[in-house]
Amino acid sequence: MMSAHRGKSVFKPLVKLAILALFSIWSFSSFFSPNATAAQWVKTISKNDSQIPDGTVVLKDVPYVTNGHERQKLDLLLPPSEEKLPLLVWVHGGGWEAGDKSDRVFYRFLNQGFAVASINYRFSQHAIYPAQIEDCKAAIRWLRAHAEEFNFDAEKMGAGGASAGGHLVALLAATGHTRMFDKGEYLEESSRIQAACDFFGPTDFNDYDFQDTIFKDYDNSPLSKLVGGSMAQKTALLSLASPLCFVTSTHAPIIIIHGNRDDLVPLNQSQRYLGALAQVNVESTLLIIDNQGHGFEGENYWREISTFFEKKLKPEKRVGYTKLLLIP
């Protein structure tokens, strides 16, 4: 684990950053003291960006695996705060074969008292499943190992993702009790998350209704490429890739958002998942977005998501619930 040193020599590589900080509204040095290694990833101190609070330290392309794949990197945004902030991690979608951590979906939480990370992971063309969830867990462990250095709370970590990213976040939430997918470095750290937000991610790859969508059984489908073969050949691996197969009472609290006209990932994927979570008394919510398909815009559901993360990651506001809501 890297430690946060405060000696005079450590700050020599940060002379240019210190000059920049003098002109920002907030001085990053009051809450964030990176060592010389971490300093190389600091790209900017934010100013005049409507999504990012002034004075936020932005770290880009941070490798969470030593000498790893080019995709095994993350971005980390640290708003100015004298107290340790909870951390939210965004996992992008793209059919496990496209997408990037530059997605700003969770940046809205920077103005609500959260630090935010956004991660890349290896695509199916780089490595088949379970490489993708192994990478997500490696990123969580790396972040937890460096929480003290970057001034966020290692015990208050949530994650969110859409589509393929939602699937991986649901897996993170469901597999906190097992070390099956923990590979590589920082194995002394937990990859468990404390709260999850799943936007229309698939949860059961053995479901025939799901297989009859765009992911149906042909050689070039995103799902076939994820598992390295047809669904008829890879039934065991499909089960290991299905969050539904890992549901226990240890599952992290979760909020799921799904459109009722989604023709790519059927709504019943999330409905059945909610039912399985309710059976083992996991705090869970399904927001059904009326007349929306696979992806949508709006603000109504964001209020529910914000309330969820506030309650789960800020202890003084914790409550438990399982519910289903229809959002017009």
What pLDDT was estimated at residue 218?
Answer: 61
> Which of 74-83, 141-150, 193-202, 294-303 has the weakest average pLDDT?
294-303
Question: Residue 79 is which amino acid?
Answer: P
pLDDT > 70? residue 276: yes
pLDDT > 70? residue 101: yes
pLDDT in tens, 43-93: 666 677 889 999 999 999 999 999 999 999 999 999 999 999 999 999 999
pLDDT > 70? residue 290: yes
Helix (H) or strand (E) holding 90: strand 85-91
Backbone angles phi, psi at 228, to 5 degrees: 75, 30
Higher pLDDT, 229 or 196: 196
Compute and round to an integer the Cα radius of gyration of the chain.
20
Q: Per 3-state DSSP, what percentage of the chain is helix, strand, and coil (rounded to 5)? A: 35, 20, 45
- Spatial distance between the Cα atoms of 324 and 199, rounded to a whole number of angstroms: 14
Could you write out the DSSP letters of every residue in 23-48? Answer: TSSS-GGGT----HHHHTTEEEE--S
pLDDT > 70? residue 21: no
Cis before 243? omega within 30: no
pLDDT > 50? residue 16: no
pLDDT in tens, 167-182: 999 999 999 999 999 9
pLDDT band at 326 (very low <50, low <70, confident <90, very high): low
Going from the C-alpha of 162 to that of each of 50, 125, 214, 265, the distances in angstroms are 23, 20, 17, 11
What pLDDT was estimated at residue 137?
Answer: 98
Backbone angles phi, psi at 258, to 5 degrees: -150, 135
Helix (H) or strand (E) holding 119: strand 115-119
Domains of the chain with CATH codes: 50-327 (3.40.50.1820)
Strands 284-289 and 254-259: parallel
DSSP state letter for 251: P
